[in-house]
Chain A
Amino acid sequence: MNSVAAQVASAPDLLAAASTAADVVFSPVGVAVVVGGALLGMAMGAVPGLGGPVALSLLIPLTFDAEPTVAFMLMAATLGGVNFGGSVTAILLNTPGTAPNAATTFDGYPLAVAGRASEAIAASAVSSGAGALVGLALFALSLPVLTPIALAFWAPEYFWLAVVGIATIAVASRGSVVADVVAGGVGVLLTFHGVSAATGGVRFTLGTQYLEGGVPLIPAIVGLFALAQMAQVFASGESVAGTTTLAGDRAAGVRAALSRWRLVLTSSLLGWTVGVVPGVGGTVANYVAYLQARETDPDGESFGTGNVAGVVASEAANDAKDGGSLVPTLALGIPGSASTAVLLGAFLLHGLVPGPLLLVSNADVVFVVLFAFVVSNVVTSAAGLVAAAPLERVTRVDADLLVPVVLATSVVGAYAVRGRFEDVVLACGFGLLGYAMLRLDVSRVALVIGLVLGSVAEQNFHRSLQISGGEYGVFLTRPLSLLLVAALVAVLALPVLRARNRGRDGDASSPGGE
Chain B
Amino acid sequence: MNQEQAEQPEERAAYSAAVGTLDEGRAWIGKSAPPETGAVAVDAGMIAIFCASLQDGNPRYWPAENAAETGESPPALLFTWTMSLPWSPGKPVREGPLCVRVPLPGNVAANVKQGAEFYRPIRVGDRLTMVETLTGISDEKATALGTGHFVTTRAEFRNQTGDLVGAMTNTLFRYRSEDGAR
Q: Do A and B come from one complex?
A: no
State the B residues within 8 Å of A (CB).
none
